[in-house]
Amino acid sequence: MSTTTEHVEHGHADDHDDAHSDHKPDSYYIKVALALGLITAGEVYASYADWLGRAFVPLLLIMMAIKFIMVVSLFMHLKFDNKIFSYLFYTGLILAILVYIAFLACFHFFSGN
């Protein structure tokens, strides 16, 4: 079995991989990083802007979600990769969010508030 594996690894696996790679030019990633940096600056500014009032928390959450999706989709290539990887990752993420909701619900219901 090991012979077969080595044969594959040193054989045409690299070519196979290259044929399916979907990497963007470096300038694309630099633009994405600049956008991420700007959003981060916006987040920090928002944390000092008292005039935002009640819009402050939703605004921060939206900016956080945009940054999260940009990194996952563009830097981690989930947007261009097979959907199975998206399902695996987002299943974990959705479960984590459900855990948080369950936590909050438990503490809310049992604390008597």
Partner 1 sequence: MADIAVHEPEAGDPGHHDHGGHDDHDAHAEHVTSTGLSNNKMAMWMFLGSECLLFGGLISTYMLYRGRHSGGLGPDQIYDIPFTSVSSFVLLMSSLTMVLAVSAAARKDEPNTNLWLTITALLGATFVGGQVYEFTSFYREGLGFTKSLFSSSFYTLTGFHGVHVTVGVIMLLALVGINKRGRLTGKKAEVVELVGLYWHFVDIVWIIIFTLVYLIPS
DSSP string, 40-77: HHHHHHHHH-GGGGGGHHHHHHHHHHHHHHHIIIIIS-
- Least distance to partner 1, CB of residue 112, Å: 15
Instruction: Report if residue 79 touches partner 1, rule: CB under 8 A.
Output: no
What distance in Å separates the CA atoms of residue 87 and residue 93, rounded to the nearest whole number?
10
User: Interface with partner 1 by CB under 8 A: which residues?
Assistant: 1, 3-5, 7-14, 16-18, 21, 23-24, 26, 29-30, 32-33, 36-37, 40, 43-44, 46-48, 57, 60-61, 63-64, 67-68, 71-72, 75-76, 82, 84-85, 88-93, 95-97, 99-100, 103-104, 107
